[in-house]
Structure 1
Amino acid sequence: MELWTIGAFAKAARLSPKALRLYDELELLVPAHTDPVSGYRRYSQDQLARARLVARLRRVGMPLARIREVCDLPRGEAAKAVSGYWDEVEAEQQQRRDIVRFLVETLSEGSTMLPVAVREMPARTLICSLRHVTSAEINDFTVEMVVRLGDGTVPGLAGMEGAPFFIYHGEVDEDSDGPIEWCRPIPDEAAEAMAARFPDLTIRQDPAHREAYVRLTRRELSPADGMRAGETLEAWITAQDEVLSPRGPFRQVFFADPRGVTPDTPVSDVIAPLPPLVATAAG
C-alpha cells in the first residue's frame, strides 16, 4: 500500500499539516503509519474521504468532538447528524438576530414596554434543584427535571400555584452559569415523603408574596423577548413607589407546554417577586 507524506496528503485533503497533527492527537484522523524514531506521519489514499469530510465539516463550524462522532457513523446516519447540527446552528443564529434587533431598538429608541400585571401568590412548599448551567445547558437541565419529577408519581398543586418555575440567582448566558434553581410546588403534606425519595433535592418554603409579571407566548420564548420582559419589569418597578422594590431575583414560570401549541398561545410568565403591601394605620 502506497503511503503519502503529511505534506502530500494535506494538499490532497485540503488540510494543513498543522491541522493533521492536531487531528492525530485527538484521534480524529490517525495516520496509517507513524515512524517510531522520526515521528514522521504517513497516510493512505483510503483516508482521503474521511479527511475531506473533516475539512468540510470544519468549514461549517462543527466542533471537532462532534465531527469525530459524525465520521464514525454510517453514511445515512451521518447525513442526519449533519442536518441536525445545521438546524441547531440556524436556531442559534435566529436567537442572535433577535438579540441584535433588540439591542438596536434599545440603543436607538428605547425598548418597547410590554404589559405588566400583578397577582398574589400563597405560601407554598417547593422541591428544588440548584445548578450552575450556561444558556446552552439550560434546556437539558429542564428536560432532566421534568422527566424526573413528571412521571405522575410526584404530587402537585393545581393551576398557576402549581406550575414549575426557574429562579435566576445569577446571569445565565454563554459565559455565565447562574446559578439557576428549578422549582416545583408540592402539597405541604408531601414534603417528608419527597425529601426521603429525592435526598439530593431541596425541600423548602416559598413565602406568600405579590409578584409583577409579563406574559409571553410560545412565539416570544427567545432570549431577546426574555430581555425585553426583564427590562419592562425593571422600568415598571422603578416607576412605582419605593415599597415595590423587588424582594428577590427574577423568576420564569411555565404554565403550559410550548410543544404542540400555536405560536400565539401564552405559555410563560417572567416574574419579579414583590414584598407584601405595608398596612397603614387609619388616621
Structure 2
Amino acid sequence: MLAIGEFSRLTHLSVRTLRRYHDAGLLEPAAVDPATGYRSYSPDQIPTAQVVHRLRELGVPLADVRRILRATAPADRAALVGDHLERLEAELEATRRAVTSLRRLLQPEAPTRDVEIRAVPATTVAAVEADVAHEDVVAWYAGAMAELDAAVGDTTGTPGGLYDNALFEQGRGHVVVYRPTERPPSTGRVRPLTLPAVELAVTTHVGPHDDIDVTYGELGAWVVGNSLAVAGPVREIYRVAPRDTPEPSAWRTEVGWPVFHVAGDCRES
C-alpha cells in the first residue's frame, strides 16, 4: 500500500487533488484508516489516477469522468471519450474560425466588398415561418429546411430565408425559410407564401456562418454609404448550404439588404 504522499508523487497529482477526487467518488483510496483518516492507495490504482488526470486536463466534466470509469466494456469507454473529443474538436474549429474572423476585422484596411443592386420580382414559395429566439435560429432552420425538402418536389429557384429586424434588435423575431415552387403544398408547417418584389443590395458570404455578422456589417456600411435601407427583413439566399455539402469552406450565402434609393453609382463596387 502507498501513503497518499507517495501516491501523489507517483501520479503527479497533489494531495489536495487526490482528496477532491475521493470526495467526488472518482478515485477512492484502497483503504482509509478509521482512527486517523489517513488514505492509502494500491499501486494498481496508478493507471486509473493517470486516466482521471488526462480526462480532467481535457475538460471532461466530473460526472462524465465518473461514467467513463464505471463503464466496464472497452467499447463503452471509447464511445464516451470519443463523444467528448468530438465536442473538443468542434470547439477548437469554432475558435480557429473566430480567430480568423478577428484577424480579418483587425486589418488596417478591410478588403473591398463586391455589392450588387438586384431587383427581385414577387416570388411564389413554399415556406415555414415562426417567431424564433436568436440563439435557436440554427436549430430551427435545420428542422424547417428538412421539412421543406421533404414536402417540396420541383423547385423554380434557390432556397432562402427572411430574418426580421427584431431578431437582431431584440433577440427574437419572425423568421421565414422557403423554397421557390409554382405549386407550394400545404402540409405540416409548410404553407404557400408570396414574397413581395424588392430591391436588394446583395453580397456573398463565403464559408460557415460563424462570422456572417462580419459580412452583415460590411454590407450594412456599404448600404449606409450608398443608399437608404428599407425597414424590411434581411434576405439570405443559400446558393451552397450545409444541405448541399458538409464542407463549410464551400458554402455560399447571399445576403440581401433591402434598399429603395441608391446615391450615385449603382454598379458593383
TM range (shorter): 0.5 to 0.7
Contact 2:200 2:257 in 1 (8 A): yes
Residue in structure 2 matched with residue 122 of structure 1 by the alignment: 122
**Distance in 1 (alpha carbons) for counterparts of 2:201 and 2:122:** 14
- Of residues 208, 213, 223, the one that matches 2:202 is 213
Say if 2:236 is the partner of 1:252: yes
In the TM superposition, residue 267 of structure 1 has moved relative to its aligned partner by 2.4
Matching of residues 26-45 of structure 1 within 5 Å = 29=26, 31=28, 45=42
Q: Deviations over 1:81-137 (max 9, x none)?
A: 4553443243122112112202311xx33x223101132142545312443354xx7
Q: Deviations over 1:145-201 (max 9, x none)?
A: 344443x334574213xx0336264459xxx9656835124658646x32xx23xx8
Residue in structure 1 matched with residue 226 of structure 2 by the alignment: 240
What's the TM-score, normalizing by structure 2? 0.65
State the secondary structure of the residue aligned to 1:113: coil
Residue in structure 1 matched with residue 161 of structure 2 by the alignment: 165
Q: 1:261 to 1:60 in 2, by over 3 A?
A: closer
Contact 2:160 2:235 in 1 (8 A): no
**Distance in 2 (alpha carbons) for counterparts of 1:31 and 1:69:** 15
Q: 1:92 to 1:129 in 2, by over 3 A?
A: same
Contact 1:24 1:31 in 2 (8 A): yes
Contact 1:128 1:181 in 2 (8 A): yes
Unaligned runs of 5+ in 2: 263-269
Aligned residue type for 1:271: G
State the secondary structure of the residue aligned to 2:106: helix
Q: 1:266 to 1:165 in 2, by over 3 A?
A: same
Q: 1:234 to 1:8 in 2, by over 3 A?
A: same
Q: How many residues align?
A: 250
State the secondary structure of the residue aligned to 1:273: strand
Matching of residues 73-84 of structure 1 within 5 Å = 74=75, 75-77=77-79, 80-81=82-83, 83-84=85-86
Aligned residue type for 1:216: H
Aligned residue type for 1:183: V
**Distance in 2 (alpha carbons) for counterparts of 1:203 and 1:48:** 65
What's the TM-score, normalizing by structure 1? 0.63
**Distance in 2 (alpha carbons) for counterparts of 1:170 and 1:157:** 28
State the secondary structure of the residue aligned to 1:255: strand
Residue in structure 2 matched with residue 183 of structure 1 by the alignment: 177
- Of residues 240, 259, 268, the one that matches 1:274 is 259
Residue in structure 2 matched with residue 93 of structure 1 by the alignment: 95
**Distance in 1 (alpha carbons) for counterparts of 2:197 and 2:82:** 49
**Distance in 2 (alpha carbons) for counterparts of 1:230 and 1:153:** 31
Residue in structure 2 matched with residue 280 of structure 1 by the alignment: none
Structure of higher CA gyration radius: 2
State the secondary structure of the residue aligned to 2:151: coil
Residue in structure 2 matched with residue 281 of structure 1 by the alignment: none
Aligned residue type for 1:93: T
Q: Deviations over 1:1-28 (max 9, x none)?
A: x7976x776666545676667767876x
Contact 1:13 1:52 in 2 (8 A): yes
Aligned residue type for 1:207: P
**Distance in 1 (alpha carbons) for counterparts of 2:56 and 2:214:** 35
State the secondary structure of the residue aligned to 2:256: strand
**Distance in 2 (alpha carbons) for counterparts of 1:165 and 1:20:** 54
**Distance in 2 (alpha carbons) for counterparts of 1:170 and 1:65:** 36
In the TM superposition, residue 204 of structure 1 has moved relative to its aligned partner by 6.2
Higher strand share: 2
Aligned residue type for 2:214: R
Residue in structure 2 matched with residue 59 of structure 1 by the alignment: 57
**Distance in 2 (alpha carbons) for counterparts of 1:170 and 1:22:** 45
State the secondary structure of the residue aligned to 2:215: helix
Identity %: 18
